[in-house]
Structure 1
């Protein structure tokens, strides 16, 4: 089967187009205390239905190295105290920030939470050097998404002011099923 991967970027914070407010009250906060367990939970809960498998084999130390790397941040959105989704920012490369992972838990899709979270994620990506003074100013925020990701992903990135700069189409073996957030919990 064909897998399409889209690469998008933003080169100026003035290009952020804010989303409308979510349909439910939300809170977005940075996880200031790095937590292997939190990040692995969010990764599997959000990505389990979208073929996110690249980190499933990571051991505790690999997760620890990731979440404690200077310039790496986790931002979580919650609804009445319940985690609803997250974004991981990777600011390790001087002058740029990658939105490494972004998404919502399935029960929170369709409530305008994703657009609001992305607006905040982009804003905080541009402000990353404020929190990491050893980092140079950000000149570019980028992300990639693919045809296996959520159906609203590409449109959300573009609606928030990110511009497509590359598209790759590759042939891949179709996976039998998504891994789900835990064994046997696949989503259709």
Structure 2
């Protein structure tokens, strides 16, 4: 991030030996965990008779993508793709090295899997998530198994993903159970997307808005 921290307001914790660093009003902060996988693991157990299917979407429409992205990520403050113009977003989604997959239950879209091969031999799990109400019943395991099948069908050095403390509390543990290993950590500070209308004001109530 290039943002500079402004002086702490009077109500913010003072910088002291306790190791606290104030986050300016209007910002959000998260601890990012970097994970990677270098060998194909055993698949995660899948529920029997699940009736779910993973489909690839060729050249997705930006409006369709944003709608699914928002359904899955708004309450976790996913905002990066929502701030892109149609041209900017299409340039990513239509890149031959970027694959968009959707988890389907019948006609319903319930999950998003994005694999980014723009760095040869180092695919990234760009976005991975389920719509509200679908976690904890095995849908994520099915989607992850298909992701691992896809990437390890090609030569690679590593398969990697970044997640953060704004995401679901079980995210890091899920990735590690799937076979990823944590290799690094960083703090990220960004503008709160609820303050500029990118995301609705009442999204992610577990993360207070400070403006």
What TM-score do the two structures reach when normalised by structure 2?
0.74
Which structure 1 residue ranges, 4+ long, deviate > 3 Å from structure 2?
172-185
Asked if structure 2 preserves the Cα contact closer than 8 Å seen for 1:6 and 1:145, the reply is: yes
RMSD, aligned CA = 2.7
Match of 1:143 in 2: 161
Structure 1 unaligned regions, length at least 5: 130-136
Q: Which moved further from structure 2: 17-26 or 101-110?
A: 17-26
1:81 to 107, 111, 127: 107
In the aligned structure 1, how far is the partner of 2:79 from the partner of 2:193?
13
Match of 1:3 in 2: 30
Residue 42 (structure 1) aligned with residue 57 (structure 2): no
Report how many aligned residue pairs link the two structures. 178
Larger helix fraction of residues: 1
Residue 20 (structure 1) aligned with residue 46 (structure 2): yes
Per-residue deviation at 1:140? 0.9
Match of 2:139 in 1: 113
Match of 1:165 in 2: 183
Q: 1:176 to 1:71 in 2, by over 3 A?
A: closer
Taking the TM superposition and a 5 Å limit, the aligned residue runs for 1:28-107 are: 28-107=54-133
In the aligned structure 1, how far is the partner of 2:90 from the partner of 2:190?
31
What TM-score do the two structures reach when normalised by structure 1?
0.82
In the aligned structure 2, how far is the partner of 1:52 from the partner of 1:160?
22
Bigger Rg, which one: 2
Structure 2 unaligned regions, length at least 5: 1-22, 24-28, 206-211
Asked if structure 1 preserves the Cα contact closer than 8 Å seen for 2:37 and 2:179, the reply is: yes
Per-residue deviation at 1:115? 1.6
In the aligned structure 2, how far is the partner of 1:9 from the partner of 1:160?
11
Match of 1:154 in 2: 172
Q: 1:158 to 1:177 in 2, by over 3 A?
A: same
